[in-house]
Amino acid sequence: MSTPPPHGQNPFAQQGQQPYGQPQGQPQGQAPYPPQPGYPQPGAAPYGAVPPEQPRRKVSFKLIKNVVIVLAVIGVGIGAYISSQDDANTAAVGDCMHRGSSSDDNPDLEVVKCDSSQAQYIVLAKVEGTYTALSADSKCEEKAKDFQYSYTETGDGSNFLLCLKDYTK
C-alpha cells in the first residue's frame, strides 16, 4: 500500500517537476516573464494618480468683438495710407496724372506711370502755397509757359498748385 502524497502536491507529478500551471525553472511567486516598460510591475497598483483636469478658459464674445474692431481699424488705416500714396500731393515735376472724376470741383487727380494708358496730364510745375483760380493761372504762366491747366489743393496741411498740360506719348 502506498502512502498518500503530502497535502498540496500533485500525486501524478513526476519527481522534480513543478506543480501544474507553473512554468519550469521559475520560482513560485514571481512573474514568468520580465517586466515590460510602460506596464505596471506585478503586484503594483494598475494606474498612478491622475492629476485633475485644468479648467478651460472660455473665450468671451466681448474679447472676440474687441479684437475684430482693432483689426478693422488697423486695416482701414493701412488702406487709407496706401491709397493716399498716389494722390496729387505726392506729385512732382515730370509725373503723369490721371483724372479720376469728371467733376471740376473735385477732379481727384492721382499719380500714374507715364507708360500707363491712364496717363492724361504731365506736371510742369509744383508750387507750394495757397492760390485762387486767378492767381494760380498767373503763377503757372510764370513757372511754365506752355501749361494748359492749373490744379490747386488746400486744407490737408499741404497747400500747393500744380501746373499741368495734356500728356501725349
pLDDT in tens, 103-126: 766 777 888 899 989 899 999 999
- pTM of whole model > 0.85? no
Helices and strands, counts by H and E, the chain: 2, 5
Cα dihedral 88, 90, 92, 97, rounded to 10, equals: -40
Q: Does some domain include residue 28?
A: no
Which sign, positive or negative, has the C-alpha torsion 164, 148, 152, 79?
Answer: negative
Number of residues that make up the chain: 169
> Residue 54: its pLDDT value, please?
79
The pLDDT, as a whole number, for residue 43 is: 59
- Whether residue 93 is contained in a domain is answered as yes
Q: Give the domain range for residue 134.
A: 88-166
- Give the Cα separation of 13 and 149 in Å (integer): 123
Q: Which residue has the higher pLDDT, 8 or 57?
A: 57
Q: What is the pLDDT of residue 124?
A: 92
Residue range 140-165: mean pLDDT, rounded: 85
Tally of structural domains, the chain:
1
Percentage above 90 pLDDT, the chain: 9
**Locus of grid cell 483760380:** 133
Distance CA 51, CA 61 (A): 30
**Residue 24 belongs to a domain:** no
| Spatial distance between the Cα atoms of 120 and 114, rounded to a whole number of angstroms | 9
Categorize the per-residue pLDDT at 11 as very low, low, confident or very high, splitting at 50, 70 and 90: low
- pLDDT for the residue 131: 86
Q: Which candidate, 109, 105, 71, places its Cα nearest to that of 91?
A: 109
Residue 37 has pLDDT above 70, yes or no: no
The verdict on residue 39 lying in a domain is no
Using an 8 Å Cβ cutoff, are 144 and 125 in contact? yes
pLDDT at 13 over 70: no
What is the tens place of the pLDDT at every residue in 75-101? Answer: 888 777 665 555 777 888 999 988 887
Q: What is the mean pLDDT of residues 32-55?
A: 66
| Distances, alpha carbon 83 to alpha carbons 111, 125, 149, in Å | 11, 23, 24
Which residue, chain included where needed, has cell 481727384? Answer: 108
Confirm whether 117 is domain-assigned.
yes
Report the alpha-carbon distance of residue 95 to residue 162 in Å, rounded: 11
